[in-house]
């Protein structure tokens, strides 16, 4: 059984293939005169061509030692530049070209993507800054060379920053989905405990109670002492069984832990987290929050949280509007997103359990509310819930 795609299980083979492809490409580009190759190559040019091939092959270590790869390609580029000017030992066919091989673009990507610790980040950007100066030949101002050199060393880090941020976001949302699945499993277990407790109370307790009553009647009406004694032992055993059964039912009906779902006061933080994760989200509240009971408030929070989670997973690039209205008749919650501007990430979509809306509908029905979830005419999606303002709990009844 494999633990992932082939390229994830064999990174060295992938890096070797990439390094060979870039090396061959750079050799071809150099030989056609697109970089530093002279019109009449001599022994020095051929030696430099071999050194370039070795420098490009250093891309094999771009994951394990990204700064070393940048240093190797930067040193080769600097050596070629100095041999051209001021040493004048090499005369390129086109002096307006960029002397650095194209492999520098991939080399600049590595330190930002693979050197993730904050302690190394300052060193990474310092090295990349020096690398850019060498590739762009800042001491010989040329608009073409500066532009191409800057693009050569800037596109890689920018892509690395994007992919690193995307990876962190996917990991965060995946962990959140795992927590949601865990909470769903805990709720299912709690419901099963309650169901078992109800069945035991309704069936077993009733039958054992009848047995105790019949044994007590037999003890009173029996004519001989042996029968009365046996009836009393049977009645005592039945009473003991009822006591033990009552304790067991009490254990099954006890919730494992207190419900710590935040109240509507946490909606602003939830919206802020969504916006920080790259999903523009707006919160609109109307009315007095105190009109909603704590149970309704926690259910409101769950509705918004589940809807935002679905947007993160399935509506890449959408904008979200969360509307919560409180009044004496109840609470109306609406989470509406616009048409997605991009396609969802397949790895992130697979992390969903597919039971979020169904579980949310069951929870809302428990508080005598209703839920509507479906696509909008403009291509977006809407989750709307109507909840009563007050739901009595066991504490309020007692």
Classify each residue of 239-249 as buried b or exposed e, where b means 16 or more C-beta atoms within 10 Å of its C-beta.
Answer: eeebeeeeeeb
Q: What is the pLDDT of residues 244-286, one digit of tens each?
A: 666 566 555 554 444 555 666 788 888 888 887 678 899 999 9
Q: What whole-number distance in Å separates Cα of residue 145 and Cα of residue 98?
A: 6
Q: What whole-number distance in Å separates Cα of residue 347 and Cα of residue 355?
A: 18
Q: What is the pLDDT of residues 5-55, one digit of tens each?
A: 776 777 888 889 998 999 999 999 999 888 888 888 889 999 999 999 999
What is the token pair recorded at 49? 């061509």
Overall average pLDDT of the 139-145 stretch? 82
Dihedral sign for Cα 112, 118, 124, 125, please: positive
What is the token pair recorded at 295? 């149970």
Return the half-sphere exposure (C-beta side, CA atoms, 13 A cut-off) of residue 68: 9
Q: What whole-number distance in Å separates Cα of residue 65 and Cα of residue 375?
A: 48
Report pLDDT for 394. Answer: 42
Taking 80 as the threshold, does the pLDDT of residue 69 lie above it? yes
Q: What is the pLDDT of residues 74-98, one digit of tens each?
A: 999 999 988 988 888 888 888 888 8
Report pLDDT for 312. Answer: 77
Return the half-sphere exposure (C-beta side, CA atoms, 13 A cut-off) of residue 129: 6
Q: Percent of the chain beyond pLDDT 90?
A: 16
Residue 14's CB is within 10 A of a number of other CB atoms, namely: 15
Q: Percent of the chain beyond pLDDT 70?
A: 82
Taking 50 as the threshold, does the pLDDT of residue 347 lie above it? no
Report pLDDT for 371. Answer: 92
Report pLDDT for 116. Answer: 57
Q: Which of 14, 101, 110 is nearest to 67 (CA)?
A: 110
Cα dihedral 103/109/114/117 (nearest 10): 140
CA angle 336, 313, 184 (to 5 degrees): 95
Q: Which of 112, 154, 118 is nearest to 133 (CA)?
A: 154
Taking 50 as the threshold, does the pLDDT of residue 196 lie above it? yes
CA angle 41, 43, 49 (to 5 degrees): 70
CA 72 from centroid of its chain's CA atoms: 36
What is the token pair recorded at 20? 């060979």
* CA distances to 25, 219, 231 from 226, in Å: 104, 10, 9
Confidence of residue 351 (pLDDT cuts 50, 70, 90): very low
Report pLDDT for 333. Answer: 94
Overall average pLDDT of the 201-209 stretch? 58
Report pLDDT for 248. Answer: 62
Report pLDDT for 119. Answer: 55
Query: What's the whole-model pTM score?
Result: 0.43
Give the DSSP H or E segment for 196. helix 143-199
Bridge partners (DSSP) listed for residue 381? 337, 375
Q: What whole-number distance in Å separates Cα of residue 235 and Cα of residue 220?
A: 12
Q: What is the pLDDT of residues 148-194, one digit of tens each?
A: 888 888 888 888 888 888 888 888 888 888 888 888 888 888 777 77
Bridge partners (DSSP) listed for residue 372? 384
Give the DSSP H or E segment for 285. strand 281-286
**Using an 8 Å Cβ cutoff, are 378 and 339 in contact?**
yes
CA angle 197, 179, 278 (to 5 degrees): 145
Report pLDDT for 23. Answer: 92
Taking 70 as the threshold, does the pLDDT of residue 397 lie above it? no
Report pLDDT for 249. Answer: 62
Strand, coil or helix: what is 331? strand
Q: Which of 97-106, 223-232, 337-346 has the lowest mean pLDDT?
A: 337-346
First to last CA, the chain: 56
Report pLDDT for 218. Answer: 83
């Amino acid at each position: 059984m494999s633990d992932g795609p082939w390229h994830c299980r064999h990174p060295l083979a992938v890096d070797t293939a990439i390094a060979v492809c870039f090396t061959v490409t750079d050799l071809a580009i150099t030989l056609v005169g697109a970089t530093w190759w002279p019109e009449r190559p001599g022994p020095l040019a051929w030696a430099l061509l071999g050194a370039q091939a070795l420098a490009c092959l250093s891309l094999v270590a771009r994951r394990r030692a990204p700064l070393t790869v940048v240093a190797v390609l930067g040193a080769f580029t600097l050596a070629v530049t100095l041999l051209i000017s001021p040493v004048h030992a090499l005369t390129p066919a086109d002096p307006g070209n960029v002397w650095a091989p194209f492999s520098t673009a991939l080399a600049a990507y590595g330190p930002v993507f693979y050197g993730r610790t904050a302690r190394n980040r300052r060193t990474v950007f310092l090295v990349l800054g020096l690398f850019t100066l060498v590739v762009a030949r800042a001491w010989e101002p040329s608009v073409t060379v500066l532009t191409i050199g800057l693009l050569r060393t800037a596109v890689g880090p920018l892509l690395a920053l994007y992919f690193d941020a995307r990876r962190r976001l996917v990991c965060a949302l995946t962990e959140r989905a795992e927590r949601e699945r865990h909470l769903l499993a805990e709720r299912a277990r709690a419901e099963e405990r309650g169901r078992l407790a109800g069945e035991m109370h309704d069936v077993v307790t009733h039958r054992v109670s009848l047995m105790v009553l019949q044994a007590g009647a037999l003890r009173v009406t029996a004519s001989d002492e042996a029968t009365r004694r046996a009836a009393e032992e049977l009645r005592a055993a039945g009473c003991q069984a009822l006591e033990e059964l009552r304790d067991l039912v009490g254990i099954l009906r006890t919730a494992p832990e207190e419900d710590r779902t935040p109240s509507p006061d946490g909606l602003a933080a939830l919206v802020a987290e969504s916006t920080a994760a790259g999903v523009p989200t707006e919160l609109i509240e109307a009315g007095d929050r105190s009109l909603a009971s704590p149970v309704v408030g926690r259910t409101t929070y769950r509705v918004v949280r589940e809807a935002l989670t679905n947007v993160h997973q399935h509506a890449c690039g959408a904008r979200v509007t969360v509307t919560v209205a409180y009044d004496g008749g109840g609470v109306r919650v609406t989470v509406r997103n616009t048409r997605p501007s991009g396609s969802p990430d397949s790895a992130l979509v697979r992390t969903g359990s597919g039971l979020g809306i169904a579980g949310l509908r069951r929870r809302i029905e428990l508080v005598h509310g209703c839920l509507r979830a479906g696509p909008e005419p403009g291509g977006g999606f809407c989750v709307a819930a109507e909840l009563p303002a007050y739901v009595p709990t066991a504490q309020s009844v007692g």
